[in-house]
């Protein structure tokens, strides 16, 4: 999707609605894919972001944006979504909030000869943050060169953990049985 500029007025309305709904406005994206134009609003909050909350925020935002027809030219689709487990890190306070958690970072220019890093956030300041690369030591990265960064989830480990929770020792695990197709009695 080709990114378009989000106007300050649209961003301000999104922030007002987020404040009214007691959610954090993580990001606002506006883009075009073919003929379709979409305004994507990503929200988060401590606790659960469920379908009911997304529906409330979406309705409130839609009604508020529709009050001024000149804000967004033409028709567009509004998409409100949760930041999810691999939520993007957009501002320095995000890095501070998630200190100690593992993230994945892609930089616009190399730092210590590399553009991509993964590791826990060791510290976060106003201009830079530091990642613990474990056996490779620490790396300090300026926010201004971050192309994108998000929390990193080891999905294989999460699946293992989920399976352990669902199947305790002694529980029977249902097995899928496939019927063998018999070729006997069929003409060849």
- C-alpha 94 chain-centroid distance: 13
- The single-letter DSSP state of residue 74 is S
Any residues with CB less than 8 A from the CB of 89 and at least 6 apart, and which? Answer: 95, 98, 103, 149, 150, 151
Higher-pLDDT residue of 123 and 6 is: 123
Q: Which residue has the tokens 């409100």?
A: 80
Count other C-beta atoms under 10 Å from residue 26's C-beta. 20
Mean pLDDT of 119-137: 94
Q: Which element (helix H / strand E) includes 61?
A: helix 51-66
Statement: residue 175 has pLDDT above 50: no
| Mean pLDDT of the chain, nearest integer | 85
Mean pLDDT of 157-170: 70
Mean pLDDT of 104-119: 95
Any residues with CB less than 8 A from the CB of 88 and at least 6 apart, and which? Answer: 26, 27, 42, 148, 149, 150
Per DSSP bridges, beta strands 138-142 and 128-132 are antiparallel
Q: What is the pTM of this model?
A: 0.73
CA-CA distance, 72 to 24, in Å (whole number)?
22
pLDDT band at 169 (very low <50, low <70, confident <90, very high): low
Using an 8 Å Cβ cutoff, are 80 and 28 in contact?
no
Angle between helices 8-20 and 51-66 (to 10 degrees): 140
Count other C-beta atoms under 10 Å from residue 171's C-beta. 8
- Residue 71 tokens read as 């804000």
Using an 8 Å Cβ cutoff, are 88 and 26 in contact?
yes
Residue-level pLDDT at 188: 39
- Pick the range with the lowest mean pLDDT from 2-6, 92-96, 123-127, 164-168: 164-168
- Residue 165 tokens read as 């929770």
Residue-level pLDDT at 172: 55
Residue-level pLDDT at 168: 52
Q: CA neighbours within 13 Å on the CB side: how many for 163?
A: 9
Domains of the chain with CATH codes: 2-82 (3.30.300.70), 92-151 (2.30.30.180)
pLDDT tens figures, 16-69: 999 999 999 999 998 887 788 899 999 999 878 899 999 999 999 999 998 877
- Pick the range with the lowest mean pLDDT from 40-49, 92-101, 156-165: 156-165
């Amino acid at each position: 999707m080709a990114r378009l500029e989000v106007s300050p007025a649209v961003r301000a309305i999104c922030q007002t609605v987020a404040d009214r709904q007691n959610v954090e406005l993580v990001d606002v994206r506006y883009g075009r894919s073919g003929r379709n134009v979409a305004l994507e609003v990503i929200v988060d909050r401590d606790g659960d972001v469920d379908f009911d909350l997304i529906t409330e925020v979406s309705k409130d935002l839609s009604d508020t944006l529709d009050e001024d027809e000149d804000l967004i030219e033409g028709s567009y689709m509004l998409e409100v979504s949760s930041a999810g487990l691999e939520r993007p890190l957009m501002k320095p306070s995000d890095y501070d909030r998630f200190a100690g958690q593992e993230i994945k970072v892609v930089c616009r220019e190399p730092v210590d000869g590399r553009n991509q890093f993964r590791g826990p956030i060791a510290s976060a300041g106003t201009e830079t943050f530091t990642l613990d690369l474990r056996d490779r030591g620490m790396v300090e990265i300026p926010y201004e060169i971050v192309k994108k960064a998000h929390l990193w989830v080891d999905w294989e480990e999460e699946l293992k953990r989920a399976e352990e929770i669902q199947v305790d020792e002694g529980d029977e695990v249902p097995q899928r049985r496939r019927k063998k197709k018999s070729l006997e009695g069929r003409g060849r």
